[in-house]
Structure 1
Amino acid sequence: MNALLDNQCPLDENITKLILGGLISVGLFASYIPQVYKLFQTKTSEGLSIWFLFLGCLGVTSTFFNVLLLQFNVVQCCTHAWSPLLCAENSMGLVQTAVGLFCFIVIFALFFYFYPQDQKVTHLRSSVTGEIRQVLSKGYREDIYIGVANLLYILVAAITATVLLVGQLDVQWVAGAFGLIALLGSLFQFIPQIWQTWTTRSVGALSVPMILIQCPGAFAFAYSLFIQPNTNWTSWASYFAAGVLQVVLLIICVFFTKKSPEDQAAARPLLH
């Protein structure tokens, strides 16, 4: 019985892992503050790619549910076998991914809150009466559809995870699917933003300090998930891939941030 308990609920403490996980969680939350600040400061989300946000949110959502499914049995040890300190240490993977999901949802919401007013509507003239009326622009409607699709994915993922855990079903293949979706999301997440920043030759509303903080943080996050009990490569590979692409985006952002004021004025960021 004791051997079984030790296998399912390891009692070895590693204070270094706890400190690393705590620092990453705080650092991850703090890394989004510059982006939130810039959105409130500029009062516009112009320059942020909707596909960058969609794929990013898809990735962090999938990673959260991947870790939740894989670590659920381990985290249950908190109720009968682990001290609060040991529980916190072995639950850090879940805490970190939850923080990442929360922060990305906030950024996604602010993208729509600060959507450029002049790009929300378009004016149409009636061919019969000649009356001019305002309607939602095609671009804004497409972005709303993408936002709704993102919310639906979060809902479906939550329902799927709940059914599997409540029904005590095999979660390995579903967790693996979430991990692969997260990996694909991370691989393609930064490509739209890299392309938009490169083609518009401006960082727009994208926060360079956020990318600067998150570059090393992504690799540290990947390592932190790697050492968590019951996780596998599908849990951390997405953050490693994101770190590589963030380095590319950071180099491009720094390059265009150092442009002359004349070049900056000539480069108008596009939302799409």
Structure 2
Amino acid sequence: MDLQGASHEQCSTTHDVPTLVLSLLLCTGLIISYLPQQHLRIITAKSSEGFSPWYLLLGATSSASGMLNLLIVQWPLFQCCRVIGGGRCFESLLGFIQVTLQWLLFTIILVLYLAYFPNHLKYQRVLPLAPSTDRDYGALTSDDADPEIESTRLKATVTTTPEWRLAVTLGIVVLLHLSLLFLLSISLLLILPTSAPPHRFLRYLATFLGVSATLLAVLQYAPQIHKTYRSKLVGALSLGTMAIQVPGSVLFVLSLALRPGTDWTSWLAYAVTGGMQGALLVICLFWKQRQKSLGIDDFGHPLIQNADEQDERRPLINGD
């Protein structure tokens, strides 16, 4: 079916109230789970410590691939917006809107991660090696010491850490990934004839985006789970965000599966993400209890208590 000249007969105008309500609830849940729970947590703490840059890279690229997959498979719905009302257009594209919202809110975490990267992890002092010589500088007296050599040997420089350079590099990779795949998708959608089912090249691209989104989602949580497990601290991760999103992922997958034009490539990545996010939530809950028993906060700092209680705890801590 050619949709270049889409008509009312070719475009569905059915009104699915349950799916509409479900999608609206999911969009609201996404905003609540990300904005006050995770975004404001980083801003308030003024620290993004605890996040794995690889987790953010893979999550941002996975969600971008999922968004572009849905853009392609639901492109006929965009064409139908020319002939149906604004309300029906909004309803038909609500699946794409919720996926785009998921990508946007997660990508904001990456932006905040770079903006609030801890200074003690961003910079390091580097002492240059002393010039090679046969003389023992440690034995030099004030009379025979070379002032130029001494100043070189003692002068330290401040440079960025490998972790910060990696974070910036991965941020650039995320930007390039989105830009290239977005331009490719839009170019093919505008150049190739619009039809339902889509042109085979578009089907290949949609499948590639969906499968890559799933693979990236699988890899996304591995570095974060490893980092959180090794650190034994929750860090800047939000338990509230995960507590909302883990059960919400079931509804998220269901809402996409019920949308017209979608297939397994559109929702599989979000099913995998929900399962692995559940595993991360379990680890964080375990470490949260451990932090409470040790009297430390999410970043490993001692909790501030009154002086009497500190005095009572100090011998126990020292003797542990």
| Percent identity (aligned) | 29
Q: Any stretches of 5+ residues in structure 1 without a counterpart?
A: none
CA contact (8 A) 2:218 2:273 kept: yes
CA distance change for structure 1 residues 260 and 98 in 2, over 3 Å: closer, same or farther? closer
CA contact (8 A) 2:63 2:103 kept: yes
Aligned to 2:136: none
CA distance change for structure 1 residues 260 and 133 in 2, over 3 Å: closer, same or farther? closer
Deviation at 1:268, TM superposition (A): 6.1
- Please tell me the residue identity of whatever aligns with 2:77: V
Q: Any stretches of 5+ residues in structure 2 without a counterpart?
A: 132-151, 194-198, 301-320
Q: 1:28 aligns with which of 27, 30, 50?
A: 30
DSSP-derived class of the 1:53 partner: helix
Deviation per residue, 1:218-258 (Å, 9 max, x gap): 11111111111111100000111111111111111111111
Q: 1:67 aligns with which of 70, 74, 79?
A: 70
Considering only CA atoms, is the larger Rg found in Structure 1 or Structure 2? 2
Aligned to 2:277: 246
Q: 1:168 and 1:18 mapped to 2: Cα distance?
A: 31
State the TM-score, normalizing by the size of structure 1. Answer: 0.92
Deviation at 1:167, TM superposition (A): 0.5
CA contact (8 A) 1:120 1:140 kept: yes
DSSP-derived class of the 2:81 partner: helix
Number of equivalences:
266
Aligned to 2:163: 139
State yes or no: 1:164 paired with 2:188. yes
Aligned to 1:47: 50
Aligned to 1:125: 127
Aligned to 1:93: 95
Deviation at 1:93, TM superposition (A): 1.3
Taking only aligned residues, the RMSD between alpha carbons, in angstroms, comes to 2.0
Aligned to 1:255: 286
Aligned to 2:61: 58
Deviation per residue, 1:113-137 (Å, 9 max, x gap): 1101011111122345232111111
Q: 1:110 aligns with which of 104, 112, 116?
A: 112
Aligned to 1:192: 223
CA contact (8 A) 1:17 1:89 kept: no
Aligned to 2:146: none
CA distance change for structure 1 residues 198 and 229 in 2, over 3 Å: closer, same or farther? same
Deviation per residue, 1:57-94 (Å, 9 max, x gap): 111100100000111112211111x2323222210111
Q: 1:206 aligns with which of 237, 250, 257?
A: 237
State the TM-score, normalizing by the size of structure 2. Answer: 0.78
- Please tell me the residue identity of whatever aligns with 2:85: S
